Structure 1
Amino acid sequence: MSSPERAIINLLLDLALSFDGAVLGLTLAISAVGSAIKCASTNAALNKINDAPEVSVADLRSLLPASEDKSETNDHGTSSDQRLVVVRGFVRPKISGDDNVLISSETGDKALIIQRTQTYVYSGWKRLFHSTGYRFMLERSMPKQGVDFMRKVPFVIVGNDQQSQSSYLFVNMDGSRQPLPLTTVYNRLQPINTSFLQAFLFPEYPVGLLDVEKILPPGKDITAVGICSFKNGVPEIKSCQDLPYFLSEMTKDQMIEELMDQTSFIFLGSVILGIVSVGILSYAAVRTWNRWKLRNQQRELTQRPSEPIVDDEPEDAEEIPDGELCVICVTRRRVPAFIPCGHVVCCRLCASTVERELNLKCPVCLQSIRGSMRVYYS
């Protein structure tokens, strides 16, 4: 680890532990709240998928019996009746024929969706020889993408035993952001001609290009989870932005099981973060309260008017018994008693010196004291 990176880590640790850990506690509390919100959204998605009916393509018309009639009277051509459903089936192009599918330029496979991603790969010399820690972390956390594009053709979902061309479910991909069940058919790392000096002196210069192509082949068995409605008499399904799935290779039971595991894990993490943040914030609050009280005591002592101390009448130390001499100066007689311990161990001058200290303690028993009072013997 280079010196700038070590300095950054030390700076972050100092900031996190500042104010007796209050910053760290607040950060953990915010993380706990974010985890709780994510847990609630995941649980809501779980309930939606669990309550959604799992139907075949042929049963969609019976599920929404009046949708087709309403769709004909709607100005926009869409039905106002919509419902979240789970449909399992095979994908095929909307219009049959080889002219209505895509062909992979690398493998020649037929596809309904082709996603091509090209990512530049950079050398690792910068980690060893360069000391620009800020730039290093930013560039490594955000790799530069060369090309990322997707091609797709209209496709539908048909039932497992459905051979008719007139009964299908059209998949509307507009606005969908969920991951797609694509199959990787091409993955190649193409090196870029780079000299040793270029890689050593210019770490931003790419040394390779990672080319990946993924496709959705016709006939693949998938599950669609989304909002189903009828448009011009044809059943159509759209993605629901509140759900993490739209088109997936998993079945409904597998989705529910995965969401249950995620909910349990996120909930446990939020509870742990919440407990730790409460403990750290409580510790910081107690430390701050104690410092505030100590500061107030110090302020009261500094603002207290200094009273003139009248020394006892001078005495000859040789005439005072050893058991009555002050334990601090060992020259004057013990006169005042400390409150509340009651020890008579100091003269008036040394007792006043003890009372001016920030941490008032008896010099014998080390118990906290509030002051002293003169003791008279009759």
Structure 2
Amino acid sequence: MQLACVTFHFQGKHVLSPEASFHPKDLKSGCCGRMESFPIRTVEVLCLGTSITLSGLFYYIYRKKQKTVDKLNEAPRLSLDRNLANILNATPGKCLQYVVIEGSVQPVKEPLRSQFQESCAGVIQKLVLREHRLVWNGLARTWTDSERFLHQRVNEVPFNLVGSDKAEVRVLCPMEASGLNLEVVHEKFHPASYSFTDIISQYLSGKKPKGQLETEEMVKVGAMLTGVGELFLDTDHALKLRPPTDGSEFFLTPLDFETMQMEQEGQALMWRVVASICVVTGVAVLLWVVRRYYRHLKAEKEREQERRDFERLCTTEGGDCDEDAEPDYNTCVICLSSPRNCVVLDCGHVCCCFRCFQALPEPVCPMCRQLIKRVVPLYQV
């Protein structure tokens, strides 16, 4: 028996993507199995799903903020004077759904007195006691600051917004309003004291108290507030401001209307930018997957073309390179079913069939792990 061979150069490329899984049954599959053999990585799925979810969430927040900005732009600004009652009397239902008014804070009865500043009085009082401590972070190997609320109490009394000519508007449900920033009238830090036993227990528990911060915040009497909400005339002919019944955002803030409007527009723009970044990230991940799939298809086509060139060379030289034959000896060391019909060079091993050679994740000999520079078909004559 005489052996003959024809040189068939390997192009120095990976004919199969390293991510693709290999099984001997896949050698018989055709183009219909390309998509099934293309793996979608878990990281790509997570990134794509996360970007879609976050972009949808951030876009929802942006639309909500933008709706608030549009409502503020359309809201009429009314002067707090005696004519306000006449305007509401002429309005159907004696109610304006969304208006802007400004006035100074005056209590209906006795105001709240500060517990720490004798001369300070207000209509809303917030007392907070926080504990500041250091917590050991085992991952960063350092102490980090943290705080927790030990006590919080909020007191309020009914109050009005008073205009220039003593016109009054009663504010209902002020704690439901957005932008109600209370003024800090008292703040004191009480540092913690340690004994030797406390220091040892702190290092064992990983928690080291720094002290307690005591604060008092108030909406002072006479402070100027901007209210945005639903204004109506009650049965007792009293003007009242309450949260809008249509679900629009209720505002009560010490800022003037122009500053508050710019702040809301900035927040809407920020959420729009964040949503756009998430969308761009999702598109980038999708394009990366499409690019990988395109390269996978290209490698599959090159592999198929090399197989056809190999069969054509075998047919041209009159040899027998039938891989479907199943001899009882000299079988491929990879699939263990087809005959060995190619020689890998430079090592010269005859160890596999051409289909298994094409399916190798990397161009190295399966026997000696030497780099394959070219392959030649082997056939009987």
TM-score clears 0.5: yes
Q: Look up the match of 2:115.
A: 105
RMSD in angstroms over aligned alpha carbons? 4.4
Distance in 2 (alpha carbons) for counterparts of 1:329 and 1:272: 51
Distance in 2 (alpha carbons) for counterparts of 1:103 and 1:257: 34
Distance in 2 (alpha carbons) for counterparts of 1:248 and 1:238: 14
* Correspondent of 1:147 among 146, 151, 176: 151
Alpha carbons 1:22, 1:281 under 8 Å: kept: no
Give me the TM-score of the superposition, normalised by structure 2: 0.64
Question: Structure 1 residues 243, 183: closer, same or farther in 2, change over 3 A?
Answer: farther
Aligned-pair distance for 1:359? 3.8
Between Structure 1 and Structure 2, which shows a larger proportion of helix residues? 1
Distance in 1 (alpha carbons) for counterparts of 2:205 and 2:262: 48
Amino acid at match of 1:144: R
Aligned-pair distance for 1:358? 3.5
Aligned-pair distance for 1:203? 3.9
Deviation per CA, 1:290-313: give whole Å up to 9, x if none. Answer: 779999x99xx9xx98414799xx
Q: What are structure 1's unaligned runs of at least 5 residues? A: 1-16, 71-78, 312-325, 331-345
Q: Look up the match of 2:273.
A: 268
Q: Look up the match of 2:225.
A: 222
* Correspondent of 2:74 among 51, 54, 78: 51
Question: What SS does the corresponding residue of 1:57 show, helix, strand or coil?
Answer: coil
Between Structure 1 and Structure 2, which shows a larger proportion of strand residues? 2
Alpha carbons 1:19, 1:284 under 8 Å: kept: no
Question: Structure 1 residues 329, 44: closer, same or farther in 2, change over 3 A?
Answer: closer
Question: Structure 1 residues 356, 200: closer, same or farther in 2, change over 3 A?
Answer: closer
Question: What SS does the corresponding residue of 2:280 show, helix, strand or coil?
Answer: helix
Deviation per CA, 1:341-366: give whole Å up to 9, x if none. Answer: xxxxx9xx969822332448999xx9
Alpha carbons 2:97, 2:244 under 8 Å: kept: no
Aligned-pair distance for 1:200? 2.1
Q: What are structure 2's unaligned runs of at least 5 residues? A: 1-39, 308-321, 330-341, 365-371
Deviation per CA, 1:116-163: give whole Å up to 9, x if none. Answer: 111111224x23xx5799xx99x95xx43111111111100011x223
* Correspondent of 2:107 among 82, 88, 93: 93
* Correspondent of 2:128 among 104, 113, 117: 117
Q: How many residues align?
A: 294
Q: Look up the match of 1:199.
A: 202
Distance in 2 (alpha carbons) for counterparts of 1:357 and 1:40: 57
Q: Look up the match of 1:356.
A: 356
Give me the TM-score of the superposition, normalised by structure 1: 0.64
Q: Percent identity?
A: 17
Distance in 1 (alpha carbons) for counterparts of 2:48 and 2:187: 45
Alpha carbons 1:106, 1:186 under 8 Å: kept: yes
Aligned-pair distance for 1:42? 0.5
Distance in 1 (alpha carbons) for counterparts of 2:326 and 2:279: 56
* Correspondent of 1:64 among 76, 83, 88: 88
Distance in 2 (alpha carbons) for counterparts of 1:81 and 1:240: 11
Amino acid at match of 1:193: S
Question: What SS does the corresponding residue of 1:250 show, helix, strand or coil?
Answer: coil
